[in-house]
Structure 1
């Protein structure tokens, strides 16, 4: 329908959207350890429990129903191509065919789901072993398509299509592609008479090859779009045709479009093929090194599938007739597999590969969805899901798997998920949108805890990915997009109503703090009012912004205590106290200096604040100096809460210290395993 050019555009749009999302996800995944929960963990810790819970639960439902769709796809291949005689229900007449088919899919789908659930319950290592087998089958299938396309240059497969004029005929309406009549049991040449319609009389009946091969020059015919309205006859433009509007009274003989087609419709149909990029992150808790595996695995997987999709568009456009590509149900080719016929050495390679591909995808979805639900339940942001946070002693989500299996079984009993599938695509897109938003917000806020090891990201790429996700949602189906957003909005308000009292240092809180700080600083611009304190402190050519507060007290110790307790307002209260080292306290006969220092340390500890004590500040470099080399040495104390790791990072953000390297030192006892301590320390750096 779309032609080669617009098909490439559709594939590029979807693949660029997923690649940008993968880049944002890689940045978040390498910003510390990602435990179980994958995409939910990334969104909730970046945007807060409300957004994380709403999007995470929608993504869980989408992944669960997707497993049902994959299973139904596998059963359809099994019953239609692999073992048709295995059908339990048979139609009494033509009208009961659909009902019998759906019942067969329900029975076999339930059996397949039960077997998959048992495999997942036994352990993820068995899923990984089966995944390798399924992947090998898929790779062999893809290679067979390329091999068949190359073979078609010299030996194209025999794949005839019958045309009347330029119209495509339905293959089951005739036995021989010729103008003949039946006399008894004998086929004889037709004697054209008044009983034949005008279009049949005036046009030739020809047989063309549906797969003429790469050397046919067919790609020029398939280059541009050919969208159709419902009921339009499928025609080949370059074949001669007389009386183009005649013969419509026998339209059942011709191949017609069952629905109206458009660019936006095809985008919605293709996009589910590009989903699944979160399969690795959904199992983040089972990965040995999630920070390494998620970026490399996801980006390489998207790059590989994108290359396969793009090359397939070009190959199919160059090898296969346009009328065959637009034949949705295969009525013109007697329901034969087009890609199977093109492939080499046998169509069975494609059938078996497709079967294992859908089974593998269903198994991966059934593995990832319970872990996602378990992560949401463990955070206790949705009270009635709390029970699903428990599982086996090794952490396997037993109860979450049970609920996932029941929901997937509901999808299988529906049997036809055509109405549900568009909403699932919206849930996937919404998850990708918020992953991009989370990365963009964290990058723009420049919070100290945002220091991903993955460096190939930028906030503009995240915003572009977010915009593309939103655009694809409304291009595919604007009303389904609104429904999906409405469902997520209701979950958001429910979590907010239940009072998810979680403090994860998320980006939404960071945005609020940044906005409050900006507004307060703006209030101080201009002449100071008698009711407000000064805002800016000028020191030579340097300007440091802050809020000054003067406390009057009889004693220094009392003043410091009052200052520590009274500064700040609401969420804008300080979390760190900076106090200079008491110089000369050993030589001084006055004990007030060291007593004041000790009292301040006690007060800061009681207030649960961080304390920084700079020493020899006079030797610090000025802002005009630049260190081209050198080291920032950190002597690590185990129970410092990570502050010692954060300070050198903050120093390296300044232009004075940017070129310096950071070195970590710790003290080991004689009986300590220093090699293991070094590994643990390296791991802790990225927690």
Structure 2
């Protein structure tokens, strides 16, 4: 509006004082605007009332240089190619920036110009749902149960609260910028750089780029873990050969498969970005269905808990991938013979105790319910933290056990803790699950009312996801046995996904849904990060990213 007024004033600069004053009196809207904004127009009607003529106003304002103090759009001669950047970096679905621009480049000729459509997306489709999809991720399905088992329900509440408060404060700051002026198209980087200056925008944009890049790596590793641990364990290239080689084997598998996944995703993003954009609704449906199956399974566990027996030797949790029958002996043809468990601990097929593990001889083998259900009262046992050191055996408190002095043997038969845990370690592991709040602001060009939709949609998405996290922490602590919660890779439940054991109607709902949602989030990260770096480079802020523009 002010740019239009300025052009009118420039056209009238050469007019005579009488004609100019007559024109000035018949433009009441402009007069009121000049009266209301004396800081922008030094010669406002406040000065005109003091006896200044229009010619004096024109001299005072120096209308030739007035364009430098109005709008960011008028800085074309000062900052290079701002309007072209705002036009190129259009919206994206979920985490990406510039997807629509790339999609149009793939589907149309460079010589043909498409008629630009007016922004028409509302708060729900433009901000709320994309933020929901980006916030929910691999941590919810793979690590939240483990976090509850280690930190307990109370400290898990505190971890979720701290992380959600951090993102809420960031959202409030972003909302202050979004509601304080015109929200430009091109995402949060342009909103910050055009409001606070390119230097602030470059600093924040680089952090945003690095965060998006590392998020893509996290999603790829999560997809590999789901694939090799729960979907196709036979596809693993490296296998553990001892008690402490499991993590090394998984790390080597992630290196190989991570490289393959990264190349495949890069090819998909390079060739068909528009297809990534079109499948966003499918990825969102996977996330929603997976979360609903968790709630359905928790409700079902009240009346009919699922059968997931956990084999215990004394108070120690045994890994079920090497034996089937949880007993020391079995009856075969009316003859008591040694079970597979006896063979593993005694290294003999006969019922001899010469080479048996002492702890195995002194303690009984028993089975407990892995998911006793919400009505079992297991919540009181899961309220408190149970942090562990690396290599420590998962033990159930208050379970009958006879301690044996000396070194622990046959560690590969037990479920072990793979890392040392503490409160701050769990905060660092959980925090990526609350990020993704910029998905709405990155669609600013497609929003009908960005000043209203960005704050409302983003805050509602954070509140919704926070409630889901709080409720999941409570449900996991109330339904699942503590040793199962602390079992990160599901060794005690036949390599099943722990949260999948609770879900209804089938654990495969969680496994398949989390795999596709994780792959989709990785594709979105790989789509958005390069375009964000390109936008920073075009502003010529960072020396080693300077580019030459025509």
TM-score range (shorter-chain normalised) is: 0.5 to 0.7
Quick one: which of 206, 212, 227 aligns to 2:372? 212
Match of 1:645 in 2: none
SS in 2 for 1:216: coil
1:227-306 maps to which residues of 2 (within 5 A)?
227-243=387-403, 245=405, 248-306=408-466
SS in 2 for 1:215: coil
Is the contact between residue 169 and residue 332 of structure 1 (CA under 8 Å) also seen in structure 2? yes
1:149-160 maps to which residues of 2 (within 5 A)?
149-160=298-309
Kindly provide the CA deviation profile for residues 254-310 of structure 1, in whole angstroms up to 9, marking residues without a partner as x: 222222211011001100111111122234344443323321221121111111111
Name the CA shift for 1:38/1:188 in 2 (closer, same or farther; >3 Å): same
Is the contact between residue 321 and residue 495 of structure 2 (CA under 8 Å) also seen in structure 1? no
Quick one: which of 220, 224, 227 aligns to 1:71? 220
Tell me the distance in 2 between the aligned counterparts of 1:362 and 1:345. 27
Tell me the distance in 2 between the aligned counterparts of 1:343 and 1:160. 16
Tell me the distance in 2 between the aligned counterparts of 1:258 and 1:83. 22
SS in 2 for 1:214: coil
Quick one: which of 175, 178, 182 aligns to 2:324? 175
SS in 1 for 2:321: helix
1:160-559 maps to which residues of 2 (within 5 A)?
160-180=309-329, 187-188=337-338, 191=351, 193-243=353-403, 245=405, 248-387=408-547
Match of 1:15 in 2: 164
Kindly provide the CA deviation profile for residues 30-58 of structure 1, in whole angstroms up to 9, marking residues without a partner as x: 21222245333344345543333123112
Moved more, 8-17 or 30-39: 30-39
Displacement after TM superposition at 1:142 (Å) = 0.6
Is the contact between residue 171 and residue 333 of structure 1 (CA under 8 Å) also seen in structure 2? yes
Displacement after TM superposition at 1:4 (Å) = 0.4
Quick one: which of 267, 278, 283 aligns to 1:114? 267
Tell me the distance in 2 between the aligned counterparts of 1:170 and 1:254. 5
1:527-606 maps to which residues of 2 (within 5 A)?
none
CA RMSD across the alignment: 3.1
Is the contact between residue 37 and residue 371 of structure 1 (CA under 8 Å) also seen in structure 2? no
Is the contact between residue 279 and residue 364 of structure 1 (CA under 8 Å) also seen in structure 2? no
Is the contact between residue 214 and residue 319 of structure 1 (CA under 8 Å) also seen in structure 2? yes
Q: 1:4 aligned to 2:153?
A: yes
Match of 2:6 in 1: none
Moved more, 92-101 or 282-291: 92-101
Is the contact between residue 377 and residue 389 of structure 1 (CA under 8 Å) also seen in structure 2? no
Tell me the distance in 2 between the aligned counterparts of 1:194 and 1:220. 42
SS in 2 for 1:318: helix
Kindly provide the CA deviation profile for residues 331-368 of structure 1, in whole angstroms up to 9, marking residues without a partner as x: 22221112112111111211221022213322332343
Name the CA shift for 1:181/1:102 in 2 (closer, same or farther; >3 Å): farther
Match of 2:108 in 1: none
Tell me the distance in 2 between the aligned counterparts of 1:286 and 1:366. 21
Is the contact between residue 147 and residue 344 of structure 1 (CA under 8 Å) also seen in structure 2? yes
SS in 1 for 2:454: helix
Tell me the distance in 1 between the aligned counterparts of 2:548 and 2:458. 28
Kindly provide the CA deviation profile for residues 356-397 of structure 1, in whole angstroms up to 9, marking residues without a partner as x: 22133223323433443343233222355344989xxxxxxx
SS in 2 for 1:162: strand
Is the contact between residue 60 and residue 369 of structure 1 (CA under 8 Å) also seen in structure 2? yes
Name the CA shift for 1:93/1:230 in 2 (closer, same or farther; >3 Å): closer
TM norm structure 1: 0.51
Tell me the distance in 1 between the aligned counterparts of 2:491 and 2:389. 18
Kindly provide the CA deviation profile for residues 183-215 of structure 1, in whole angstroms up to 9, marking residues without a partner as x: 9x9943774745434322322110111111111
- The structure showing larger relative contact order (alpha-carbon pairs under 8 Å, at least 6 residues apart) is 2
Displacement after TM superposition at 1:241 (Å) = 1.4
SS in 2 for 1:153: helix
Moved more, 111-120 or 231-240: 111-120
Is the contact between residue 358 and residue 404 of structure 2 (CA under 8 Å) also seen in structure 1? no
Moved more, 65-74 or 346-355: 65-74
Q: Which runs of 5+ in 1 are unaligned?
A: 391-687
Tell me the distance in 2 between the aligned counterparts of 1:225 and 1:356. 32
Tell me the distance in 2 between the aligned counterparts of 1:343 and 1:214. 13
Q: Which runs of 5+ in 2 are unaligned?
A: 1-149, 343-350
Displacement after TM superposition at 1:92 (Å) = 8.8
Name the CA shift for 1:245/1:326 in 2 (closer, same or farther; >3 Å): farther
Displacement after TM superposition at 1:115 (Å) = 1.3
Displacement after TM superposition at 1:229 (Å) = 1.9
SS in 1 for 2:368: strand
Is the contact between residue 36 and residue 372 of structure 1 (CA under 8 Å) also seen in structure 2? no
Name the CA shift for 1:186/1:100 in 2 (closer, same or farther; >3 Å): farther
Is the contact between residue 374 and residue 388 of structure 1 (CA under 8 Å) also seen in structure 2? no
Match of 1:38 in 2: 187
Match of 1:137 in 2: 286
Tell me the distance in 2 between the aligned counterparts of 1:56 and 1:291. 21
Match of 1:571 in 2: none
Tell me the distance in 2 between the aligned counterparts of 1:224 and 1:92. 35
